[in-house]
Amino acid sequence: MEAVSSRRFDRFFGSPLNGLLLLLAVFFIYPFVVSDYYIDIAFYFGIYALLGLSLNIVLGEVGLFDLGHAGFYAIGAYTTAILNTHFGIPILVLLPVSALAAGLFAYLVCSPIIHLRGDYLCIVTIGMGEIVRLALINNPFDLTGGPNGVFGIDFPSLGGPFVIDSSIEYYFLIWVIVALTIAGLLRIQDSRIGRAWNCIREDEVAAGSSGIDVRYYKLLAFVLGAALAGVAGNIYASKLMCVSPESFTFWESCLFFCIVLIGGMGSIPGVLIGAAVISLFPEILRPFAMYRMMFFGVVMILMMMFRPGGVWPRKRREAAHE
């Protein structure tokens, strides 16, 4: 199947380099030939791609079920909102701060539960995500604004005259971050960390017996995944100029989970395809708003029946090296 896919790719593009150049050309031309509405759709595609990549570290690389990922997303968004509105810290300065806050939160929360596996870990992460959302609603220390959230968030800047305030600029910002994330994850996949994650995913007991520090690498996956979700939260908060608990429900975590499942667990191109499906599907079915969730459910069922490995599953040769 993979050989057939590769031949089709080569017939269509001529070579992987030609395909990459074509994608880059489309990427740069797209925002200049469409309206702001379609640029915003591409922006949210980028947000979902970044969130899918962040969850793919936990779910795809290590095989840990996480259905509370929206909690890390919320930590990044609210860290940005609170520090920007209360202390006037520029959004782009807060980009690494949001990542650190979400990563630290993941470390503190996941350390006591990292020994859990399968359904048990999944249930605990659901509870973690809901606790974050309910805490935000309860407005601790009068910082989160309760159910109404936080308003008046600035546009991204470093504190000087350079300000990102147009749809095109937001489009390039999120996709540059996505590209850098993909480059970093590709390096990690070929590193000792990536190989350790793959061993843990295939057989955690055997990985531990071979000398791999299973606890350390599982925690590392959660922290890195949460940090990337925090970055997505930062950009999302600045784009909307407000955040509220309604944006970080359990349903959002389910969507992130579906992105990885649709594309293929552990597959970076697959995650991009899954993010495209999740972000574009509602727009395509907008004329059938009453039925689009039913259509989405049918698509998911068919996917699990006929493509359980995802649209673009992880290559077998990669698994062989692992």
Tens digit of each residue's pLDDT (9 = 90 or more) over 38-59: 999 999 999 999 999 999 999 9
The verdict on residue 196 lying in a domain is yes
Rounded distance between C-alpha atoms, residue 312 and residue 294, angstroms: 24
Rounded distance between C-alpha atoms, residue 225 and residue 52, angstroms: 9
pLDDT at residue 321, rounded to an integer: 45
* Lookup: tokens for 138: 């309860």
Handedness of CA 280, 91, 86, 83 (dihedral sign): positive
* Lookup: tokens for 274: 């899954």
The verdict on residue 255 lying in a domain is no
Please, where are the H alpha helices in 157-308? 167-189, 192-202, 204-209, 214-240, 250-263, 268-284, 292-306
- Go through the chain and tell me how many residues it has: 322
Question: Among residues 205, 277, 234, 284, which one has the least CA distance to residue 92?
Answer: 234
The verdict on residue 32 lying in a domain is no
Which residues of the chain fall short of a pLDDT of 50? 1-2, 4-5, 8-9, 317-322
CA angle (120, 232, 175) in 5-degree steps: 130
Other CB atoms within 10 Å distance of the CB of residue 186: 12
The verdict on residue 144 lying in a domain is yes
pLDDT at residue 291, rounded to an integer: 76
Q: Domain total for the chain?
A: 1
The verdict on residue 238 lying in a domain is yes
Owning domain of residue 127: 37-250
DSSP output for 122-168: HHHHHHHHHHHHHHHHT-GGG-S-GGG-EE-PPPSBSSSS-B--SHH
The verdict on residue 261 lying in a domain is no
The verdict on residue 314 lying in a domain is no
The verdict on residue 91 lying in a domain is yes
pLDDT at residue 299, rounded to an integer: 79
DSSP output for 204-228: HHHHHHTT--HHHHHHHHHHHHHHH
How confident is the model over 227-244, as pLDDT tens digits? 999 999 999 999 999 999
